[in-house]
Copies of this chain bind each other. A is one copy, B any other.
Amino acid sequence: MTDYRAAVQDMNFLLHDVFQVSQDWATMPELAEMMDADTARAILDEAAKLTETLIAPNARQADEQGISFKDGEVTTPDGYKEQFAQLAQGGWVGVTANPEFGGMGLPKTLSAQYEEMMCAADISFSLYSGLTAGAIMTLDLHASQELKETYLPRMAAGEWTGTMCLTEPHCGTDLGILRTKAEPQADGSFALTGTKIFITGGEHDLVDNIVHLVLAKLPDAPAGTKGISLFLVPKFLVNEDGSLGERNPVVAGSVEHKMGIHASATCVLNFDGAKGWLVGEPNRGLAAMFTMMNYERLGVGIQGLGAAARSYGTALEYALDRRQGRGAKATQEPQAEADPLIVHGDIRRMLLTMKAFVEGGRAFSTYVGQQLDRAKYAATEQDRADAEALVQLLTPVAKAFMTDTGLEATIAGQQILGGHGYVREWGQEQWVRDCRIAQIYEGTNGIQALDLLGRKVAGSRGELLKPLLREMTEFLQADAGQWSAEYQQLADAVKSLTEVTEAVLAQVPSDENIINSVAVEYLNLVGYVVYGYLWLRIARVAEAQDALGEFASSKVKTAKFYFAKLLPRIHSLRPSIEAGSKELFSHELNEF
């Protein structure tokens, strides 16, 4: 396995040169005093040190050892406990938590970079703190002051972790039919009974207490998603003085044996009259859970990015070192018995595809992070609303497109190593296995596509897409310089996206199946167009900075590669979308 090196230069370039986030921060009352470019750089340097030296080196061993389960107790791999303690000590568990409760309160533009590093270092390990961050945010937004004061400081300090308990054996995507019950008790608490599955970090030995956020139904709840409430259920009840009390009857019944993320404890949790407290309003639990989904879903997208970034580092190192076959005559090294892999066109095709997806994905996650920060912190309501609209639109794209391209990248990274990519030694096969779950959990990528095309685009009759189209069109008004061909290509792509959107929307009234029949291809179309837009923004900034030297030159060339080799994928997506739902629904069930 090669050493992990965080892409700090690229992150700083994106933050400060491309997206100029400190200009944003300066105008944001809650960030102006706390954040500036130097602080941001220092934080990224620390995060890089942490992930490169503490976490990444243990990822393969942790995968091989995995978690173990006995009598309801989970033992995490060697080293995890110490790693988590150091993470907590550095304040990294509360990296996005509200400073009022001891969090760092970092903007998302910055925490997105930290998350990429964590995922590149070890996705399994990242989940313990990642889910905690999500739980912190949910409580911060929806819980009573009393619950917040009891739980948030301990969670932000990394003393306790958090979970999200949604899925049940008979329902994952379709939460409307969940069965876990919450009975009101005389003391104002609730007794929860039911079984939850696929609970990440549902049980483990890293900290003393685990705070479960649980979706359940009140006795009088309406049917469907409008009858779901959210509850806080701690593993150990908390005494008045903050010490741990009685063990709550929420117990891990088993753990899953999975394709990957072997060091992450994925638990079946049995709630047997466990004591819990309502978070937010009764029957509004799904909405409360979804306020954190935008953050979490970007976070899952970043898992795809992190796996791809790690795989790219190894593939590049291998391709420069491993000698096999001969390149074009001018580049041959006759004194060696063969030339390095990187002289071969197909190897370069795979490496550049990875690079375009990794660096494009990093730009995308930073861009979405910028919108999240503006939606939360911008000084004017209009600015906040504009950003929120982009967040709504782009969140499902970030989750699905970054994990789909992440899997493609990790598979390419494995392929570059040949048989050596299939064995454990270099780690490449682990990043494939670990990346694969990110396409599935937090709403499968098919569900993301349905969210994008159905809820967001069709739900707004196309209005939600317009600001993005406008932003890209405005960008294309400027002088194209050496990029006239690419500007035209992107303009055509934007036009294509506009036309396809109109064509799909026109079919909605007459075809109930149209949305879910073309949604995945539609999401991919949006993804390729947005990455095209971002690659041009990157290239234009890079070419203007002579001082960046090879770094800038590489950006320019990778952008050219993206337009030559990857953006053309939209030409297959459009006809497939235009073919609609007809050939999907012609089969009767017994004809399959």
Contact = CB atoms under 8 A, between A and B. Distances in A.
Contacts of A266: 423
Contacts of A64: 257
A586 B559 CA distance: 11
Interface in A145-196: 167, 170-174, 177
B576 A515 contact: no
Interface string A532-573: 000000000000000000100110011011001110111111
Contacts of A583: 352, 557, 560-561, 564-565
A560 B344 CA distance: 38
Nearest to A519: B346
A575 interface: yes
Main SS of chain A's interface residues? helix
A279 interface: no
Nearest to A437: B422
Contacts of A423: 256-259, 266
A415 interface: yes
How many copies of this protein are present in the complex? 2
Given A348-B584, A579-B565, A583-B565, A592 B554 contact: yes
Interface residues of A, number: 100
B172 A418 contact: yes
A290 interface: no
A345 B515 contact: yes
A243 B419 CA distance: 36
A71 to B, nearest CB: 21
Contact of A259 (B433, B446, B564): B433
Given A174-B325, A588-B550, A422 B449 contact: no
Interface of A: 64, 167, 170-174, 177, 197-198, 256-260, 266, 316, 320, 323-325, 327-329, 337-338, 342, 344-352, 355, 407, 411, 414-415, 418-419, 421-424, 429, 432-433, 436-437, 439-441, 444-446, 449-450, 512-520, 550, 553-554, 557-558, 560-561, 564-566, 568-573, 575-576, 579, 581-592
